[in-house]
Structure 1
Amino acid sequence: MTVLVTGGAGYIGSHMVLALLDAGEEVVVLDDLSTGFHWALPPEVPFVRGDIADKALVQRIVREHGARSLAHFAAKIVVPDSVADPLGYYLSNTVKSRALIEAAVGAGIEHIIFSSTAAVYGEPARVPVPEDLPPDPINPYGRSKLMTEWMLADAARAHNLRYVVLRYFNVAGADPRGRSGQSTHNATHLIKAATQTALGQRRHLEVFGTDYPTPDGTCLRDYIQVSDLADAHMMALRHLRRGGGNLTLNCGYGRGFSVLEVLDTVRQISGRDFPIVFAPRRVGDPARVIAEADRIRDELGWQPKHDDLRAIVAQAFAWERALPHRNQI
């Protein structure tokens, strides 16, 4: 049965496409290429450039390819941008997801795996953060994703639909075989930005906030390697195909690193120093976000294979160094 991947030409979506192909699955990608790249997909993958809110297009793709499962990655993801442009984020992440879910249900999609975020927890009252902690997002990005979680749960109660919501913590690294990685030039991911700075592609790296209640004053984050995350999606797909019930699961390792610890690791791996500029806190950034990650292991049997910050940074650095030589169109 074919899997429709929205946002499949983007960073995480392209790794899901690779995982599906590696498993012998049929896949079709729908992406508007606002942040993704067609060249990031293997040439044999059917690709449609279009809007996830185009219900007629979505239903045509589902019918023509016989899709029964949907992995939904398409979204805007930058927290400060969501604060500056909340209505744009509600449009892209919530309104368009509503149209996609309606089209999927109407076309006979049976399973949806939804790309959500730890931002739904806001400034969590407990760290590590369990899935049963009441959501309390502090920025429009987190709210836009939480609204889609609610819509998906309500749709599943009303229709022949089952789902898994995966709440990502900080995704990083690249495919260990060098087939895909974070390719958006101005991406805000810390490890991406730091490797670009180490390579001289940015003049300096900004560190936002040094007065957080953490050991070194900078934010603590739980970094999950992107291929491990794709594996979590594959296990979620198998769970649903076996008749498993709806789930909401954290995707992280349960361990946090500070911004300064990450930058030290980038210096060590790259063998290069680079300038840092300390700046005020950004609006909407919580101090500590670390996953309680037992449930995904218990429910899906997921076991990470790349849980090592140095390896994650080395993958990201290798990808960044090779990126200018790729056919970026």
Structure 2
Amino acid sequence: MILITGGLGFIGTHTTRALLDLGESCVLVQRRTADVPGAFADEAGKRVFVEQADLTDQAALLEIGQRHRITGIVHLAGSMPWPPGANEPVEGARKAVASLLNVFQAAQEWQVSRLGLASTIGVYAGAEADGPLREDVPLPMTSGHPIPAFKKIGELMAGHLARTTGMDAVTYRIAAIWGPLGHAPSPFFAAPQLVHAAARGTVPDLSTLRGGAHAGNGTDLCYVKDCGRAIALLQLAGTLRHRVYNVASGRVTPNSEVIAAIRKAVPGARAGLPEGRDPAAQDVCLDITRLRADTGYEPAYDTERAVADYLAWLRAGNDR
């Protein structure tokens, strides 16, 4: 039975679905009270269980292990002082570090076979490489945003604890994820806004983007169903040869490709962007050689299939 922190969130929901499809059962941990969602209703009380616990409360987290035989952990919950203003800075940092340490404590006490930890493509900001970014590229010690800053802290702490305890702890550096349940608008890339606008028949609002709102810009877009399946494969793999894995599509998807897929699915969609490139935006691509070699993973959703699936979900009444 795999415990997933943030198991009812964006990536967590799709990771749960992938683990269920691979024959696992799951305990989904949320800070707020929640019921088993409709998508898992047939599995409620059989292979899907929802537990409420604040990860900063070690006793509450460990108590879950008295009710369920946990064999693995996928830690996806956002353990960082974010968004701004949610906590006083020092207290926010204390909670972020405490949450991660409590998850490690639970993994050690439950003697799980593997602990998976979510990191982000953002840790590569400023890294220098020719071609796709590999997991062994040196990372800058600076960060312009709290999310990659605390993910770097988490990666260093995970590496230390894995070495000193002998625990099998694996970090996932997750690319730009989009699809059902995802945030729209996104401050980091245009695809969610473009698809939501096409589903509504409106002009996309890209005012929240930090940069890259041009047709020629892109990033490593990974559809959320592929992301969930990759994480599930990493969790259940018999042997993993590395401590860090990129979870991505392995290619740059330019905005122009997303727009073309939208216009094919929704003729007349007002999905245009300025031509050319924003020179300040960096098109990042992650190397997924390790992921492919150790799990057999291949992305199942190209841009056209992803756009069509996302639009179908939105048109089914899920736009928000």
TM-score (norm 1): 0.79
1:69 aligns with: 72
1:268 aligns with one of 257, 264, 288: 264
Distance 1:89 1:17 in 2: 28
Count matched residues.
306
Structure with bigger RCO (C-alpha 8 Å, 6+ apart): 1
Distance 1:161 1:300 in 2: 20
Distance 2:86 2:57 in 1: 26
* 8 Å Cα contact 2:74/2:115 also seen in 1: yes
* 8 Å Cα contact 2:27/2:49 also seen in 1: yes
1:303/1:82 Cα in 2 relative to 1: closer, same or farther (>3 Å)?
farther
1:252 aligns with one of 248, 269, 280: 248
2:58 aligns with one of 55, 58, 69: 55
* 8 Å Cα contact 2:120/2:175 also seen in 1: yes
1:92 deviation in Å?
6.2
* 8 Å Cα contact 2:81/2:87 also seen in 1: no
1:261/1:243 Cα in 2 relative to 1: closer, same or farther (>3 Å)?
closer
1:196 aligns with: 196
1:98 aligns with: 101
* Cα root mean square deviation, aligned: 3.6
What residue identity is the alignment partner of 1:161?
M
| Cα displacement string for residues 165-190 of structure 1 (whole angstroms, at most 9, x for unaligned residues) | 111111223xxxxxxx2255655563
1:22/1:210 Cα in 2 relative to 1: closer, same or farther (>3 Å)?
closer
Distance 1:92 1:274 in 2: 43
Distance 2:128 2:64 in 1: 43
Percent identity, aligned pairs only, is 22
Q: Note the residue ranges of structure 1 that are not aligned, 5 or more in a row.
A: 174-180
1:178 aligns with: none
| Cα displacement string for residues 51-110 of structure 1 (whole angstroms, at most 9, x for unaligned residues) | 22221121111232110210111117999x569989487466544223322333234334
Pair 1:155-2:151 in alignment? no
1:271 deviation in Å?
2.6
What residue identity is the alignment partner of 1:320?
L
1:211 deviation in Å?
7.5
1:135 deviation in Å?
1.6
Pair 1:298-2:265 in alignment? no
2:30 aligns with: 31
Pair 1:316-2:320 in alignment? no
1:254/1:10 Cα in 2 relative to 1: closer, same or farther (>3 Å)?
same
Distance 1:22 1:4 in 2: 16
What residue identity is the alignment partner of 1:257?
T
Distance 2:20 2:243 in 1: 24
Distance 2:88 2:147 in 1: 8
What residue identity is the alignment partner of 1:205?
D
What residue identity is the alignment partner of 2:192?
K
What residue identity is the alignment partner of 1:118?
I
| Cα displacement string for residues 218-246 of structure 1 (whole angstroms, at most 9, x for unaligned residues) | 5420111222222222221233xx35454
1:133 aligns with: 137
SS of equivalent residue, structure 1 residue 205: coil
Distance 1:8 1:77 in 2: 17
What residue identity is the alignment partner of 2:267?
G
Q: Note the residue ranges of structure 2 that are not aligned, 5 or more in a row.
A: none
* 8 Å Cα contact 1:256/1:290 also seen in 2: yes
* 8 Å Cα contact 2:26/2:49 also seen in 1: yes
Distance 1:268 1:89 in 2: 45
SS of equivalent residue, structure 2 residue 37: helix
1:177 aligns with: none
